[in-house]
Structure 1
Amino acid sequence: MAIPRTFRVEFAEVFPSGCYMVGEVEQVKDFEASTPGKPVWARDKDTGDFLWQITVLDCAPDARDKTLKVKVTSPVQPVPPAPLQGLPFIPVEFDGMTVTPWQNGQRIAYSIKAREMRAPRASGSAPARSAAAGKDVARDAA
């Protein structure tokens, strides 16, 4: 039986209550290839595109990790949606999401990657979502 290393997931499975971008879009450094005087930027192994990292706030009240990082693969820096008046953070959604489990000491951790970041489809704020089966797939396998 061939078990995939990476699993496709939908945004609503990972962030059933939506999420907000907190911070900036940052390019991911390839720490193994970089030297102190010359940074080398990480590329996605499948597409060859650059990796960009976005810290997000998970809106789910029962989220174990309130902030986490989502990596976006893109040849150019992703542009966040426009801020919404009256909100301290920018609501975002991600398309083409995958999770990759890895062992972090005694705990199973997950790397979250997406193909695209965009504004939520619902207007006004991050959409309220009902609890979906498997909503904790990205965090609760410990």
Structure 2
Amino acid sequence: MKKIWIFLTLFFAFTTYSSWIYTGATDYGTVMTTRQQLGKKIYQEYNCQSCHQIFGLGGYLGPELTTAISDKTRGEAYVKAFIENGGGTRMPNFHFSKEQTEALVDYLKYVDANAFSYKNTTPNETEK
């Protein structure tokens, strides 16, 4: 009888926890705007992930872009200027229009705003 009570307790604890996780615990209420979706589409169409990383996924040639907007040394103005001026020596100039540049910056703002746990880790933890 004791085993049945232990099983039922664990089963209900698991069910309660699972329903809490899948129904709202991970919902941060962030939805992409149309311009952010356009920025994501541009990011994918121009294959930016082959050189840049977002949330640790992507290439290693360019800088990590997950927190580029909130970075103290870079920031929104730096990122926007970098995209508008065709990047640096290793980044090709894609000749983005003003609308495309704004969309890319808005997409990076969205990524940055959703990097909760990524911002709270030390550099050594993200490399693991």
With the length of structure 1 as denominator, give the TM-score of the two structures: 0.22
Larger relative contact order (Cα-Cα within 8 Å, sequence gap ≥ 6): 1
Give the structure with the larger helix fraction.
2
Give the structure with the larger strand fraction.
1
With the length of structure 2 as denominator, give the TM-score of the two structures: 0.23
| Structure ID, larger Rg | 2
